Amino acid sequence: MRADLIDIVARRLDRPVASFRALGGGCVGEVYRVQLKDGGDLVVKYDSRPNPALDVEGYMLRLLSGRSALPVPRVLHSDPDLLAMEFIEGESRFDAAAQHHAAELLAALHQVRAPQFGLDRATLIGGLHQPNPWTGLWIPFFRDQRLLYMADKALEERVMPAALHRRVHRFAERLDSFIDEPEHPSLLHGDVWTTNVLARAGRITAFIDPAVYFGHPEIELAFITLFNSFGTPFFDAYHALRPIAPGFFGQRRDIYNLYPLLVHARLFGASYLAGVEKTLAPLGF
């Protein structure tokens, strides 16, 4: 552990550090479990790269804490290059009881409303910029700020071939033939997959690493299916609380997963574009 980082954390928090231990995970910066000499137990993220934005993660966690009952770590310090939050015990393993609890928590989150889709500011997903201009309707928001924005960036970064980019744009022109407007804009965690949820003894202890905005709950549910974060116990419990409209597990789920697939292509490589092609082809694009 670098002595300079120990000094940075102690100085920013104004509390002496007893020990540091590196933790795995996280797309942005270094992640550590920090024990303070006064007994505090924290998770600290540090990003020494140019233009860090860990303060955005701090903002999102505070928003979720302030606007919902979703369990998230309490933020103790938030700077662009350093984020300190409470350490919460838990593992990314979910028995049926934990999945039921996750369904209750996310169904309640999705009841938190806003007048429009978007957010007061841009956020991040996996360290990538996520624009959130307030928009009156969901379909234009998803088309322009999610699907086309991420496809255009993938083309610009030479991750996506021009031919596939054109197919995405042609599909986007017909998007209103495939998805519907929701009842209201819902507060979303935005990045619910296995390692971003912690559980212990059949209860969810925390949701971490959010990508917050107000959107359609179906995009949240779709992402959960992409990597099988939760299974049948979750969806049965969620459906009992907030009925999932017919047809979601057909085309709509795959359409909404175009967004995280494009995110993963930019973050981890073009192999994720195979999923984009697999979704577009049966739709005629």
| Domains in the chain: boundaries | 3-86, 96-283
pLDDT tens for 151-167 read 999 999 999 999 999 99
**Furthest-apart CA pair in the chain: how many Å?**
62
pLDDT of residue 99: 98
pLDDT tens per residue, range 204-252: 999 999 999 999 999 999 999 999 999 999 999 999 999 999 999 989 9
Query: Parallel, antiparallel, or unpaired: how do β-strands 123-125 and 82-86 relate?
Result: unpaired
Name the pLDDT band for 25 (thresholds 50, 70, 90). Answer: low
Q: Which of 47, 191, 209, 254 is an active site residue?
A: 191
According to DSSP, residue 68 is labeled -
Mean pLDDT of 260-265: 98
Backbone angles phi, psi at 166, to 5 degrees: -65, -35
Helices 258-268 and 273-280: crossing angle in degrees, nearest 10, is 150
Cα 151 to Cα 206: distance, rounded to the nearest angstrom? 31
With CA atoms as reference, report the closest residue to 274 among 193, 151, 160.
160
pTM attached to this predicted model: 0.94
Angle 107-109-113 from CA coordinates, rounded to 5°: 115
Say whether 4 sits in a helix, a strand or coil. helix
Strand, helix or coil at 18?
Answer: strand
| Fold adopted by 96-283 | Aminoglycoside 3'-phosphotransferase; Chain: A, domain 2 (3.90.1200)
Task: Find the range with the poorest average confidence among 30-39, 146-155, 172-181, 274-283.
Answer: 30-39
CA–CA dist 238, 234 (Å, integer): 6
Torsion of CA 246, 249, 255, 257, to 10 degrees: 140
**Which of these, 272, 252, 249, 269, lies nearest to 261 by C-alpha position?**
272
Sign of CA dihedral 87, 90, 92, 97: negative
Stated as kind and residue range, the H or E segment containing 75 is: strand 75-78
Residue type, 140: P
Identical topology for domains 3-86 and 96-283 = no
Answer whether residue 26 shows pLDDT above 70. no
Fold of 3-86: Phosphorylase Kinase; domain 1 (3.30.200)
What's the rounded Cα separation, in Å, for the pair 277 and 258?
9
Tens of pLDDT, residue by residue over 2-22, are 667 888 888 998 888 888 888
On whether the CB atoms of residues 139 and 179 are closer than 8 A, the answer is yes
In angstroms, how far is the first alpha carbon of the chain from the final one? Answer: 51
Is position 191 annotated as part of the catalytic site?
A: yes
Distances 166 to 140, 173, 211 between C-alpha atoms, Å: 18, 11, 27
Helix extents (H) in the chain: 3-13, 54-67, 96-109, 138-141, 149-156, 162-173, 217-226, 232-241, 253-256, 258-268, 273-280
CA angle 221, 237, 198 (to 5 degrees): 65
Mean pLDDT of 48-75: 96
The H or E element that residue 43 is part of is strand 41-46
